[in-house]
A = this chain, B = another copy of it.
Amino acid sequence: MEHFKISKTKIIPKGTLLLSYGDICSYGYKVESGCLKSYVIDSVGKEHILQFAPEGWIIADLDGFTNKKPSQIFIDSIEESTVSFISKFNYEDLNDLDKKALVDMNTKYRNNLIATHKRIIGLLSATAKQRYIDFTETYPTLVQRLPLKFIASYIGITPEYLSDIRRKIAKK
């Protein structure tokens, strides 16, 4: 299932910034071990997490990478991680891939799109409490590993309010 040019892997210490706002995004990152996250920073300096990438996942600024735009997002490491660098993920190269690779890639995009749509449904229609419960059910292993403040950011609430929610759940 490897269709791209992948450079040798690197060990990334915890807390390392791999991609910053405004950077030209030359790489996607394939996580072999550890965990990365992507996020935006809003006008008042608050961080909003777009994606977690534990082992096996690929993370990138898809828009910047594809269209050679400066990045709108940040990517850093939540844990010490082993990461492969994927280059040349752009449109021209799609034509160089063989059919099997294209079909696999299609399937990955499609599954990602389905998951992303589900997240939108949650943000539009569920309460913060329900989104937290959904997160724990969808990503039980991440819940073990990640600081709660990152989960709060991912589901779109403050750590303080997540703390309230957890207290109320525990009291039942």
Contacts and interface: CB of A to CB of B under 8 A. Distances in A.
A69 to B, nearest CB: 10
Q: How large is the interface on A (under 10, 10 to 19, 20 to 34, 35 or more residues)?
A: 20 to 34
Contacts of A114: 62-63, 66
Copies of this chain, complex-wide, total 2
A162 B120 CA distance: 19
A30 to B, nearest CB: 17
Interface string A86-127: 000001001100010011011101101110110111011110
Nearest to A43: B125
Interface of A: 40, 42, 46, 48, 50, 62-63, 66, 72, 91, 94-95, 99, 102-103, 105-107, 109-110, 112-114, 116-117, 119-121, 123-126, 156
